[in-house]
Every structure is written in C-alpha cells, then in structure tokens.
Amino acid sequence: EIKQDTYLINGELRPWTGESSEVYSSISSTKDYKPTLLGTIPTLGETEALEALDAAVNAYDKGQGLWPTMKVKDRIICMEKFVIQMKTKRDEVVKLLMWEIGKSLPDSEKEFDRTVDYIYNTIEEYKQLDRDNAKFEKHDGVRAHIRRGPLGVVLCLGPYNYPLNETFALLIPALIMGNTAIFKPAKFGVLLISPLLEAFRSSFPKGVVNIIYGRGRTVASPIMKTGKVDVLALIGNSKSANALQNQHPKSNRLRLVLGLEAKNPAIVLKDADLDLAIDECISGTTSFNGQRCTALKIVYVHEDIVEEFNKRFSAKVDALKFGNPWDDGVKLTPLPEPDKPAYIQELIDDALEKGAKILNEKGGKTTDNYIYPAVLYPVTKDMRVFQEEQFGPVIPVLSFSDIDKPLDDMAASNYGQQVSLFGSDVKTLAPLIDALVNLVCRVNLNSSCQRGPDVYPFTGRKDSAVGTLSVYDALRSFSIRTFVASKDN
C-alpha cells in the first residue's frame, strides 16, 4: 500500500494531514471478489489548489522568472536530470500501471519506455528548434531573429488510460518551452506518479511544476476561475474540458491543447485481405479493452463479405485470453472504472432491443470487474452504441453496399480523429483516401488506428481535438513565435 501524504508545491513536498481518499484496484487479490486497496492520496481543497497556482504564477513571474528566462541548455539539463531519475523508477511505475488501470505487463512496459523516449525526443527536437531559431531571416530590409517564447501557466490534466504517456506528452513539452505548470494526475493511475514526485521536486526550480490531488470540482475549478491560467492542456472528455474552459473569466485569452473523444471507424472493402482486416480489427477494437481514444469503435464491412467477416471475427474475439495484467498472453483485463461494465451492458441491451444480435458466445458475459466484448450486428443509427463513444469492450458492426454510407456517417459525426481503411485495389483506394483525409486527420491503410509513433501529428477534427500533439508540434503548441527585428539597409 502506498500512503501518499505529501503533494508538490513550490519545490517542497508538503506534508498533508487532512482528509485522504482511498485508491482501489479493480483487480482482486482474493478469490471471492473484493477490490484491492492500493493506497491513499491527499484530498486537497481549494486553499492548496490556489497555493499551487500561486507557486506556478510566481515562478513564471509574467515571463520574467528564472525558468521562462533560463537558457535553453540549462532547461535541458533540468529535463535530463528528471528523465534519468525517472528511468530508475521503471519497475515501480510499471507495477502500478498494472494494478491501477489493469494494463497488461507488455503494454505497461511499453507505456513507460515510450514516455522516456518521448522525453528524450522532445529534448532533441528542442535543440533543433533552438538551432533553427539561431538563424536570422531577412525580408524587405528587416532582419528578424525568431525566438520561441513560453505562454505562461499551464493547467495539465491527463487521462486514466495513458496516465503516464499522455499526461507527460502535455507536461514535458510545456515545461521545456519555459512554461510553469500545475498538474493533477488522473483519477485512476494516480499513485503511479508517487515514485516520480522526488524526481520532479529535485530536477526543476521551485514552483515550475506543482502536483496536486483532489476532485476536479474542488481543485481545478477554483484555479480556472482566477483567470490566471494561460493554457488548459487536457486529454480526456469534452464535458470536463468545456466546463473548465467556461470557468475562465477571460476564456478568449485561454489557449487550449485538447485531446478528446473519437469514434474511429474501420471500413472493410470487398477486396480487402480478410485475414489482415480481421486481425487489425481485433487489435483495434480490443487492445486495452477498447479504452483508447484511438480504438476502432465502429466497424463497417461490405455486404458481400460481412457474413464471413463476422464469423471469423467473432471466433477470434472469443479466443482472446482474459486475466490479470501480468498473466502470460493476456489480452483482456479488468476494467478500472467500477461502473463501466454496467454502462457497456446498457449499450448492449439497447442494441438488442433495437434489433441487433450478439454474434459471439462469450459476448456480454460478466465477471465482477469485466464484461466480455460483445460483437453486435447489425447495428443501426438509432442505437446508443452507434452514437456514443463506448470506450470499452463492445464492438458494433454494420454492413454497407455503397461506400457513401460510412462516408456520410463520418461526415455527420461530431468526431474526426482517424479511420482504418481495408482494401487492395489502388484505383478504388486512392479517391477514397482523398475523401477520408478531409473527414479525419489520419487514414490508416490496411492497419488499425493508433497514435504512434509519437513523431506523427496526433489530432482530430470537430470535437475530437484542439491543437496538435507530436514531438514536433507539442513544442509549438506550448509556445509562441516572437522575434527581434532590426533594419538592415
């Protein structure tokens, strides 16, 4: 058990003696199901939240603070110091990733290593940015020395499904560009930040990064209401993002970097390599139990091959191994959100009532902390599973005869992150790709949707994102292009 009884403000790990909240794992360590108590975290209040804000505001000091004015090479030294310490905590963090959010061992290790790589790649990109900025430009007799300047104070909130990688993909570029931050870990995946607190404390000047705990309403809202936050950096749901944005008294001044919902479709054309399409749809729909913003959340299959697809796809879903994250070959694991199985059941019941069937034998079978993915067919627009981002183990399948059907649905959707397109005839694929890139931001040809490699832009149209993340883009998202001009006659 981890008793997290400090929080990081102004370079100090302050002791907390007030109320604390228990953190449970949905993984049971006993045979008769009982959630496992993993530890406790401080339930901070408005006072502590505003102290964290003050620390970040003072460290930024209207752009005149030590951190925003620090030389590039010195900020890099701090970041390197951090990542070197972080690497020593791999085993602890990986273990907590498994217990807190139920991520499999290989995926937890991947998340940790990917985050470390992300930090190193960010440092390299930052050096490149600095080299580019060292060059002068000259246009019409005006010489310009371009610089990238920070934006100010960042409130950083990450999601439970990638509590390390996605949060750090916001926090690290924000910090290296000279911003200061208040960071509240996700509700699930919160204890795994504990082993890293000392690394944060000792690597950065005081007030540059402040880490708080508590309910969003109690800690994040008061911070936003002061109007002192310059950037809201959030990966999660649009409800929380909108609420926080609207609490800022001058929301037009607030910059946003947001990764939000998605309903990425797979479109399987009749000439698709069916084995490949099925395997990719399996990983796309079921990896981490479908709890990825990039998961395939709806599958369109051409009517000529839908029967064959459904038969083989359903059998493969039923062959996936369910177990604890550290079990060998495990693919499906307990869900961290206690209310998720009931929600998925509602979607299944609604679809069944409206005419869909569960194609796989195990579909919808529940344990205390899991519901087995149900392959639902035929799904129609009036079903909730068509309309909502399920973010969990249920797989809606539709058939189409005319490609306009999935294209029209995508055009009408509020989301526009990615699509997977399966087919082989280049003459058919080429114009389709041209249409799809104007509906989403990434077309995955004969492969499932994914965010990585993290050098590529990660963003979305409509309600799916604001701003772009990648190693390259994030540095730009958290900074502004400024320049020093002089006449050059």
Footprint on this chain of ligand G3H (rule: CB under 6 A): 161-162, 166, 292-294, 450-452
Instruction: Work out how close the CB of 450 gets to ligand G3H at its nearest, in angstroms, rounded to a whole number.
Output: 4
| Comparison of 25 and 115: residue with beta carbon closer to ligand G3H | 115
C-alpha distances (whole Å) from 386 to each of 19, 67, 290, 303, 378 are: 42, 48, 15, 18, 11
Q: How far is the CB of 197 from ligand G3H (least distance, A)?
A: 24
CB of 424 to ligand G3H, least distance (A): 24
- Closer to ligand G3H by CB, 323 or 452: give it: 452
Looking at the Cβ atoms of 208 and 282, the one nearer to ligand G3H is 282
Taking the CA atoms of 140, 145, 151 and 156 in sequence, report the sign of the dihedral they define.
positive
Integer Cα distance of 11 and 20 in angstroms: 22
Nearer to ligand G3H, 7 or 162 (CB): 162
Per-residue DSSP letters for 77-105? HHHHHHHHHHHTTHHHHHHHHHHHH---H
Instruction: Tell me the closest approach of the beta carbon of residue 12 to ligand G3H, in angstroms.
Output: 33
The two tokens of residue 105 are 């061992």
Q: Tokens standing for 416? A: 């526009």
Q: CA-to-CA distance for 463 and 367, rounded, in angstroms?
A: 34
**Minimum distance of ligand G3H from residue 257's CB (angstroms):** 14
- Report helix, strand or coil for 288: helix
Nearer to ligand G3H, 359 or 466 (CB): 466
Residue 166 or 463 with smaller CB distance to ligand G3H? 166
Residue type, 373: P
Please identify, using beta-carbon distances, which residue of 228 and 292 lies nearer to ligand G3H: 292
Q: How far is the CB of 263 from ligand G3H (least distance, A)?
A: 13
- Cα separation values, 372 from 239, 338, 348, Å: 27, 15, 11
Q: How far apart are CA 439 and CA 461, in angstroms?
A: 7
Task: Measure Cα distances from 2 to 21, 37, 160, 204, 445 in Å.
Answer: 12, 9, 18, 24, 44
Give dist(CA 91, CA 99) in Å, integer: 12
Shortest Å, Cβ 392 to ligand G3H? 13
